Structure 1
Amino acid sequence: MQFLEKWIEHDYNPFIIFDANGKVKSLNQEAQYLLGEVSTKEIFDIAGAYAAITYGFKTTILDLEFGSYRFYGITVGYESEEEIGVKLYKYATQKFSTIAEYGEPVNIYTLLDLCISATSTGQNTQFKKEFDPTFPDLRLQIDGFTKLLNKTYASFQHAPKITTKLSLKTGEHIRFKEKKYPIFTILVEGEGRDRRFELDAQAIAKTINCIVHFKEEQIIITSPLISA
């Protein structure tokens, strides 16, 4: 692999080259992760929509979102009808500053169930759970993490239905002091999210080295998975 190819392979932004039929000819590492959350056809269709009218390269500033990915721009280039390339530009995201291997061992399913049970008391809200069943016991700062979950569920206190999804981020990890840690997410979703809890949730997340991301009807908590 030449230096330029290595540079593209390790680029922070996803890069894909398609043939004329929308089949992927080459892609970098970041694009592989992206295609785990969005279909190849959807990216190919977007490339066609933002390509220049004649051969060449065109960069467009826009707002795109696919799963946990958000982009602020796209460059599309082609010099023949045989292939077309696309590069998407990611918004900068929060990063984990440290990894704290202290904390108390806890069963994440039990912790979530306790927070859901506390939230559901006196409410008619329907709760749905979609949990990856393979999680080991984790080390968490339980008090802070429980407060963050409670703020999260309080944000959806008027929603008729709240869905909680627990999963690992496929292909992603954080390296700290020569160790690699998987990353897991807790996604809570419901209608009519109350934004008044955002600042409190962000403040709590910082104290326990989590990242919390807010969408219109979702709150996503991301954290390193440290086995107990």
Structure 2
Amino acid sequence: MRKKRTKLITGISIFITCLALLMPVAFAAEPINVAMPAVSVTLTGSPPQDSEDYEIVLKADDPAFPMPEGSEDGEYRLIITGEDMAFLPAVQFSSKGIYTYTVSQTPGSNELAEYDNSLFHLTIYITYAPGGGSLESTVIARRGDEAEKLLDLEFVNNYEPEEIEIPDEEVPGGEVETPDEEEPDEIELPDEDIPGAEAETPDPPEEETEVPKTGDEALIWPYIVSFIGAGILLIVLVLARKQAAKE
């Protein structure tokens, strides 16, 4: 009788021990997929007409932490084109624990853009569900050191307006800049050579009361005096002959 009781107690003890050892294995065999927060990109200011690609990076604080499929070196990169929203892939967990991650944006190359450099912290708690052997999760997201819990992650990128220089000739009422022209050498033409121009005539000299004798007039006067003298002499001779004839 005692042997039967001893065997029964021993069997129950072995069963309980095996059950205790198999319980963690059963829990580990039921991994869960945990959905990550949504990520959105909002554009303010004067966004470019051509949509820009924005890179969102999910990084594990410990390289041993689970990561989504497609991750490399403990990082997963998500591309969002333009102003849009996207979801990070779910992460699979198979054991309880506290897992921490960060989400950030890689700055772009647009010089007119101010890219949001916020750093979001994700804390994922994996625990056993009350009264059962399944796992459950709790995800908490915060921006930087802020205490507020977030449902999704938002990056706000601001764009400065692009300055466009308009040439002065295109501005209504603007002054048109013309290149300086070299002035040709001025040539003065006499008025008489200009077609249609009146030639300048010299002013007539004022009348003089006494006209001075020129050299040509001085040479003529002796001949005039000789001619007059000969005429007088001829008249005297004629009168003398007539008087002699009367006598």
TM-score interval, smaller chain: under 0.3
Higher strand share: 1
The higher radius of gyration belongs to 2
The higher-RCO structure (CA 8 Å, 6+ apart) is: 2
